[in-house]
């Protein structure tokens, strides 16, 4: 994070060794000094743990310049911990069937339409994905490597994904936090 901030503000980036030899307090102080007199927007993607958020949050200066930190997380606890009130949490809705189909075809068939011999299996897979983009992309990428003539492989993939997605709380709750 420090290296990226240095690049954005166009200052010489410290050497890897120099940054690695600093303790957490030193790193936080450098970030605070770099951002103290600036208005900033920092985007953190895919934060999983509350302690990670707390470390980052303590490094951010409160300089009353309208600065913001935005993060994405699939962990509701992280979203709640990083927000003053529930109004700052934006819960993403699942994709519509049409958008799910478009994303799936893009990943699986590189934008082409579905072949008739796997059309029913694709519909079954999409219904199991429940509009979750992460699941659609992951399964689509896997299926892109499978032989379209081997229906058994596609059927096996479809059969194996049902319970995993439905039982995985992390996939069901995809949250984006904005405050």
**Three-class SS string for the chain?**
CHHHHHHHCCCCCCCHHHHHCCCHHHHHHHHHHHHCCCCCEEEECCCCCHHHHHHHHHHCCCCCCCCEEEEEECCHHHHHHCCCCHHHEEECCCCCHHHHHHHHHHHHHCCCCCCHHHHHHHHHHHHHHCCCHHHHHHHHHHHCCCCCCCHHHHHHHHHHHHHHHHHCHHHHCCEEEEC
- Mean predicted lDDT score pLDDT of the chain: 82
* Sequence-ordered list of residues with C-beta below 8 angstroms from that of 32, at least 6 positions apart, any chain: 59, 60, 61
pLDDT of residue 178: 36
Higher pLDDT, 95 or 174: 95
Domain annotation covers residue 90: no
Same domain, 68 and 126: no
Domain final residue, candidates 82, 113, 148: 82
The domain containing residue 15 runs over which residues?
Answer: 2-82
Name the pairing type of β-strands 175-178 and 89-91.
Answer: antiparallel
pLDDT of residue 106: 92
Rounded mean pLDDT, 107-133: 87
* Sequence-ordered list of residues with C-beta below 8 angstroms from that of 109, at least 6 positions apart, any chain: 115, 144
Same domain, 74 and 107: no
Domain annotation covers residue 91: no
Among 108, 48, 113, residue whose Cα is nearest residue 81: 48
Structure pTM? Answer: 0.61
pLDDT of residue 103: 94
pLDDT of residue 162: 62
Domain annotation covers residue 148: yes
- How confident is the model over 140-163, as pLDDT tens digits? 998 888 887 788 888 888 888 765
Structure tokens at 4: 């990226």
Same domain, 75 and 9: yes
- How confident is the model over 30-67, as pLDDT tens digits? 888 888 888 888 888 888 899 988 888 888 888 888 88
Q: What percent of the chain has pLDDT over 90?
A: 13
Same domain, 8 and 54: yes
pLDDT of residue 117: 83
pLDDT of residue 10: 83
């Amino acid at each position: 994070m420090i290296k990226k901030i240095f690049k954005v503000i166009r200052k010489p980036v410290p050497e890897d060794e120099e940054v690695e030899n600093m303790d957490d307090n030193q790193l936080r102080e450098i970030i605070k000094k770099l951002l103290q007199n600036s208005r900033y927007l920092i985007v953190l993607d895919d934060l999983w743990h509350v302690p990670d958020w707390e470390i980052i949050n303590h490094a951010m200066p409160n300089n009353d310049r309208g600065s913001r930190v935005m993060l994405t997380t699939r962990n509701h606890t992280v979203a709640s911990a990083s927000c003053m009130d529930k109004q700052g949490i934006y819960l993403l809705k699942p994709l519509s069937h049409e958008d799910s189909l478009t994303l799936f075809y893009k990943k699986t068939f590189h934008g082409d339409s579905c072949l008739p011999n796997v059309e029913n299996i694709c519909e079954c897979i999409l219904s199991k994905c429940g509009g979750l983009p992460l699941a659609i992309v992951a399964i689509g990428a896997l299926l892109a490597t499978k032989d379209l003539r081997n229906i058994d492989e596609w059927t096996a993939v479809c059969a194996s994904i049902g319970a995993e997605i439905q039982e995985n709380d992390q996939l069901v709750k995809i949250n984006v936090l904005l405050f």
